[in-house]
Amino acid sequence: MSRPAVCLVSGAAGFIGSRLAVKLCESGHAVIGVDSFSDFYPRWIKERNLAGLRTRPGFEFIEADLNDLDLTALVGRVEVVFHLAAQAGVRTSWGRSFSVYLRDNIQATQGLLEAAKGAPGLRRFVYASSSSVYGMSPDLPASEDSPCHPLSPYGVSKLSAEQLCFLYHMNYGVPTTALRFFTVYGPGQRPDMAFHKFFRLLAEDKPVPIFGDGRQTRDFTFVDDIVAANLACLERGRPGEVYNIGGGHRETLRDLLPLFEEITGVTPRLEPLERQKGDVPHTFADIRKARADLGYVPRTALRDGLVGEWEWIRDLYSLS
């Protein structure tokens, strides 16, 4: 898409959505951002994410729940949908709270897709999926053809929404593409996510919780690499397909502790906790398909990304 487009970014006040909206504006695209400011984490952090966007030419912000909007009218205004809004959290998706995941992750996605099927000007619909869809898949690294066995209700909700995208593509020709993000980190990371918690606890000289034996591995992906993959979908990628977006390597959580000590100057004191239901032991992305179709190459080294997040954490909480 060589010319500037009008883009909808759902979840525009969030970790990834806000950085994507900035990059789109910098590239000359017009952006309509939508966010409901759900109470999963403090509003002031999301407002901070939006601070530089609100005054940008070409950026319009709508504070609303997708389930309450006239989505037909909204999607009819845009050429590209980047759907990042979702209820996050693997460990909080059990029990009665699953109704929130049904509403925010499945129902909201289905509503957007219904609106998209009748939008003649829509050229791309990019859905933010998750490595959680793989769950206990036996393949490492996991390819897009690997079995999906989610281990949490959250993973089930993301896979269900991803399958809805495929159904609307096959039946109505909606140009959907799903990107499966693997453990995103970097400046702006949510407070419930591991690296954000680690850095803040180290700064406060408090124990760092480690679930299980700490030998779990994750494919950590820097947020700007995730944003680059989304931007690549403006020009590339095949409708109806899914793509793994990972960092291209995996690390053991416990083995990262010396790196946290080096960056912060604080020796971590560990607080062992029981393994949490829904936590998968390992994630690792096979990114060959994204490399071939999207030109995706993760460019940020883990240490560099962690330094950037630490600097952001210090500024966020006014740490010395």
Give yes or no: 134 in active site.
no
Q: How far is Cα 224 from Cα 281, in angstroms, rounded to an integer?
A: 25
Tokens representing 241?
A: 């397909």
Residue 186 Ramachandran class (φ > 0 left, ψ -120 to 50 alpha, else beta): left
CA distance 13 to 9: 9
Residue 219: how many CB atoms within 10 A of its CB?
26
- 8 A C-beta contact, residue 154 and residue 110: no
Nearest-angstrom CA–CA distance, 186 and 313: 10
For residue 141, cis peptide bond before it (omega within 30 degrees of 0): yes
Choose the catalytic residue: 101, 134, 154, 296: 154
Task: Retrieve residue 117's tokens.
Answer: 């099927």
Chain centroid to Cα 93, Å, comes to 16
Rounded CA gap, 234 and 2, in Å?
9
Query: Are the C-beta atoms of residues 220 and 185 closer than 8 Å to each other?
Result: yes
Q: Which amino acid is at 194?
A: A
* Residues classed as catalytic: 154
